[in-house]
Amino acid sequence: MRTTFQTSYLQDVRLFPDVRRAIRYAALVALAAALPLVLDDFLLGEATNVLIWAVAGMGLMVLTGHAGQASLGHAAFLAVGCYANAILMERVDLPFVASFLAAGAITGLAGVLIAIPALRLHGIYLAIATLALSMLTEDIIVLAEPWTGGVTGLVAPDITIAGAQVDRYGSPDLFYWLCLVVALIVTLGYRNVLRTPLGRAFVAIRDSEISAQAMGVNVAVTKACAFGLSCMVTGWAGALMGHFIYTFNHEVFTVIISIQLLVMIVIGGLGSIQGAYWGALVLVGIPQVINIARDGAQAALGSSIVIPGIETGLFMAILILFILFEPRGIHGRLEKWKVYVELFPFCRRDMFRRQKSYLKTERMR
Amino acid sequence: MSLLDVDGVTVHFGGVTALERVSFTVEPGEIFAIVGPNGAGKSTLFNLISRFHEPEEGDVRFAGESLLRRAPSGIAGLGIARTFQNIELFEHSSVLQNLLVGRHTRRRASILAQILFTPAVRREEIAHRVAVERMIDFLDLQPHRDRIIAGLPYGIRKVVEVARALAIGPRMLLLDEPASGLSAEESRDMQFRIKDIRARMGVTVLMVEHDMGLVSAVSDRVLALADGRVLAIGTPSEVQSHPKVIEAYLGTEAAAP
């Protein structure tokens, strides 16, 4: 097992605890940046999709995984970001970078506004309220027809950055790199939040509101911050998603998307940035795996097999398996394997078992 | 001037009287203990100072300023830190992260600066770390620094909670049953630590405790509560021999069959 010898407090504050890890992540980023050179257009589109879902996942992760506020309504914020970006580009004629940033700000503001009534709600009640929000948004999109195009929807305007045409179909590699840059910036910002008082306040209100208050954490302000940041990032993901799917209407951002997003981060591993990426990989990967399996079955049996709803079914089955056997998701499982390998053969079976605590002062809520 | 001035506070929960016109003062540098049977109103009194409960009448002043105008999250900023009877730590964080939350009121950087992690934020983080590290040294928590709370034994958690409260840099520390659930040895350690906190950090200590051994060993003055009323205030031996206190704990002869 490797132990980092600490010689200064700066080591704990840095992005990476040691050089090895920094090199590993740099290699990963280099690999991700080189993907357009290797993959064909279809697979590159899927890789882009993973990045967009990962950004959306990070948006929800900060709220649910770190601040502990469940939301079943994040499709609503994806929609706000998507429509805000498209409308700003089309009607106000803003360049993409400006409209993209503004879409994030608008969605973040919407999140803070939603947070104000939602502050009084806990757990399941908050989930239900946000679920209602998600359902309402579908109707609002239809009703706000002059802006959103109603049932017909909108077509994503063309993106031009520094003279270059960034198009999902025309130049998939440029669009992929755009998504990669957004994902990296969001990841970096997320990581920064986690190592500052704000991130610690998020975790504090998740684990014990009462003692967070006694430590001077203003619970209402912190929750509003969590909603604001979460929705801002989700709005950005929504804006990218709009460009990715090209045409969108009210049927794109349904409650199912909200649920998928939440399930995705649970499978990935709540409370970790990596979890958002793992979850996105599983979400986007499942249909591909099914396709490959279907082709294989067709070749073997000579007839095609079509099972309606298999993708969602498989996704939810994976969720159930994770909740039963690995509540900490893919990221948690990988961490455990890592410790197992590092300590081999000294890893004990109960190593990761947590002591249960039954006494909790929640009655003062 | 007294550091803490509890002035005639009354709290009812429905028909139950939790506190009835309770008044006392805590002087700077004092170790002040509150004792009393279960349901006497000790924890209510603490939660009143933490602003989790609202008094129906009376006032609570800290260094001359009324606490009733403050929100619960504004209390720590005044220099009042507390621990909880049932331990309220952030279960899934390390000891270090828990203590760093104690520095929350000392943060200066804006949210934007934190997201960008500017050099000023970096310096601030190091300063927080130095302050927290001092508490770790003071309470001998070095071996547990990076361990997750959920895996720590009860006795250590109690000490971590005291360390987190001290990380605020308080003028007054409220300890809610610091020795409950501790072994005899751990309880004796806690006794020395409470004295150390006053001697080395100049922190005034207000504590609720059932263990009379600990109370008489550390406290300057003791307040005995029963059924929400003050029975006696004085030195530990005065209070222990006070007829009303004996009556509250043991009953009267007339009441005995």
Chain A touched by B132 (CB under 8 Å): no
Pick the range with the lowest mean pLDDT from A23-27, A358-362, B56-60. Answer: A358-362
- Give pLDDT tens digits for A63-114: 999 999 989 999 999 999 999 999 999 999 999 999 999 999 999 999 999 9
Local confidence band at B167 (pLDDT 50, 70, 90 cut-offs): very high
Residue A363 has pLDDT above 50, yes or no: no
Say whether A207 and B91 touch across the interface (CB within 8 A): yes
Say whether A201 and B104 touch across the interface (CB within 8 A): yes
DSSP, collapsed to helix, strand or coil, labels residue A155 as strand
Give me the pLDDT at residue B60, please. Answer: 95
Give me the pLDDT at residue A358, please. Answer: 47
Q: Which residue of B has its CA nearest to A192?
A: B115
Interface subset of B 201-220, CB within 8 angstroms of A:
none
Strand-pairing partners, residue A247, are A155
pTM of whole model > 0.80? yes
Residue A147 has pLDDT above 60, yes or no: yes
Mean pLDDT calculated for residue range A224-252: 95
Interface subset of B 21-50, CB within 8 angstroms of A:
47, 50
Give me the pLDDT at residue B204, please. Answer: 96
User: Which of A189, A217, A354 is the closest to B115 by Cβ?
Assistant: A189
Find chain B residues with C-beta within 8 A of A196's C-beta: 107, 109, 114, 117, 121, 125
Q: Which residue of B has its CA nearest to A187?
A: B115
In angstroms, the separation between the Cα of residue A310 and the nearest Cα of chain B is: 36
Find chain B residues with C-beta within 8 A of A208's C-beta: 88-91
Strand-pairing partners, residue A160, are A165
User: Which of B87, B116, B122 is the closest to A13 by Cβ?
Assistant: B122
Mean pLDDT calculated for residue range A241-259: 92
Domain ranges of chain A: 17-253
Mean pLDDT calculated for residue range A278-295: 91
**Which residue has 């601030």 as its token pair?**
B124
B56 neighbors B243 (Cβ within 8 angstroms): no
Mean pLDDT calculated for residue range A162-186: 92
Say whether B92 and A271 touch across the interface (CB within 8 A): yes
HSE toward the beta carbon, residue A57, CA cutoff 13 A: 31
Give me the pLDDT at residue A354, please. Answer: 58
CATH fit for domain B1-79+170-257, picks 3.40.50.300, 3.20.10.10, 3.30.420.40, 3.40.47.10? 3.40.50.300
| Helix A273-301 with A255-268: angle, nearest 10 deg | 100
Output the CA–CA distances (angstroms, integers) from residue A199 to B133, B175, B188, in the order listed: 20, 27, 36
Local confidence band at A362 (pLDDT 50, 70, 90 cut-offs): very low
**Residue A122 CB neighbours (<10 A):** 15
Beta-strand pair B65-66/B57-62 = antiparallel
Chain B touched by A119 (CB under 8 Å): no
User: Which of A9, A196, A206 is the closest to B114 by Cβ?
Assistant: A196
How many degrees, rounded to 5, is the angle at CA A357 between CA A355 and CA A362? 150
Chain A touched by B122 (CB under 8 Å): yes
Q: What is the mean pLDDT of chain A?
A: 90
Chain A touched by B107 (CB under 8 Å): yes
B144 neighbors B152 (Cβ within 8 angstroms): yes
Give me the pLDDT at residue A359, please. Answer: 44
A48 neighbors A219 (Cβ within 8 angstroms): no
User: Which of A216, A357, A361 is the closest to B77 by Cβ?
Assistant: A216
Residue B38 has pLDDT above 90, yes or no: no
The H or E element containing residue A335 is helix A329-343
Say whether A193 and B151 touch across the interface (CB within 8 A): no
In angstroms, the separation between the Cα of residue A321 and the nearest Cα of chain B is: 23
Chain B touched by A211 (CB under 8 Å): yes
- Name residues whose C-beta falls within 8 Å of residue A264's C-beta, 6 or more positions apart in sequence: A53, A57, A276, A279, A280, A282, A283
**Residue A98 CB neighbours (<10 A):** 12
Chain A touched by B14 (CB under 8 Å): no
Give me the pLDDT at residue A197, please. Answer: 95
| Stretch(es) of chain B classified as CATH 3.40.50.300 | 1-79+170-257
DSSP sequence for A179-244? HHHHHHHHHHHHHHHHTSHHHHHHHHHHH-HHHHHHTT--HHHHHHHHHHHHHHHHHHHHHHHHHH
Pick the range with the lowest mean pLDDT from A146-160, B54-68, B90-104, B217-231. Answer: A146-160
Give me the pLDDT at residue B256, please. Answer: 47
DSSP, collapsed to helix, strand or coil, labels residue A154 as strand
Return the closest-CA partner of residue B191 out of B224, B162, B223, B165: B162
Q: Which value, in Å, is the radius of gyration of the alpha carbons in chain B?
A: 19
Say whether B130 and A9 touch across the interface (CB within 8 A): yes
